[in-house]
């Protein structure tokens, strides 16, 4: 792995923001290169969000930050969008920078050895030479370490998670007007009136029947 005082390897890599970033283009300013194993994995997400939250402090000192992994440009863009990363990620699937700088190392897990990307960080000076190296990085709070080395102050830590959309407000329930109920007295009056009308009608019919019967009887007597 390259040490302080060594020249940064020559590189020209596509970035997640669509541009090409090279050592030549960055000459004349200090910058940070941090290498990580894979997009959208727990440790790499914590580390990326730590740099995201502290980027204003890096920017205030005129020090850009670049994350580097062997992931594709498409994978980088998804990672950036998911977590709102505000700095470029450099795609190095052919390990053109990862290997020369010494970040491609032998690892072991569950007794099995394999080659992979070491989680490491470099501060590169304006002259293109490495100023400081972190060979073994703990993702949690690493950006604060780098910022302190540059003489800056870290921002308060925030959870490494995508922002959830605000919950939609439930529509207010429609008010249903209560049904008008007629007063009991009014109902009683109507009932009495109906009964009176019916009684009169029956009485009239009865009187009419009696009159007809009386006339019929009178005619019978005359005969």
Q: What is the set of active-site residues?
A: 44
Q: Got the DSSP string for the chain?
A: ---TTSBPPP-EEEBTTS-EEEHHHHTTS-EEEEE-S-TTSHHHHHHHHHHHHHHHHHHHTT--EEEEES--HHHHHHHHHHHT--S-EEE-TT-TTHHHHT-EEEEEETTEEEEEE--EEEEE-TTSBEEEEESS--STTHHHHHHHHHT--PPPP---SPPPPPPPPPPPPPPPPPPP---HHHHHHHHHHHHHHHHHHHHHHHHHHHHHHHHHHHHHHH-
């Amino acid at each position: 792995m390259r040490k302080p005082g060594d020249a940064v390897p020559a590189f020209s890599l596509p970035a997640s923001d669509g541009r090409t970033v090279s050592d030549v283009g960055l000459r004349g300013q200090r910058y940070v290169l941090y290498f990580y194993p894979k997009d959208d994995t727990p440790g790499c997400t914590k580390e990326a969000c730590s740099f995201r939250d502290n980027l204003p402090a890096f920017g205030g000192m005129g020090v850009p930050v670049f994350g580097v992994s062997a992931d594709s440009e498409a994978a980088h863009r998804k990672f950036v969008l998911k977590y709102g990363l505000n700095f470029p990620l450099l795609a190095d699937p052919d390990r053109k920078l990862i290997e020369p700088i010494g970040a491609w190392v032998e690892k072991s897990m569950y007794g099995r050895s394999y080659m992979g990307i070491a989680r490491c960080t470099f501060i590169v000076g304006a002259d293109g030479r490495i100023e400081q190296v972190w060979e073994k990085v703990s993702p949690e709070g690493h950006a604060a370490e780098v910022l302190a080395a540059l003489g800056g102050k870290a921002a308060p830590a925030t959870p490494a998670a995508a922002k959830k959309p605000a919950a939609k407000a439930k529509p207010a329930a429609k008010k249903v007007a209560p049904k008008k109920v007629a007063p009991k007295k009014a109902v009683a009056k109507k009932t009495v009136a109906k009964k009176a009308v019916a009684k009169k009608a029956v009485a009239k019919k009865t009187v009419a029947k009696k009159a007809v019967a009386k006339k019929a009887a009178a005619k019978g007597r005359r005969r």
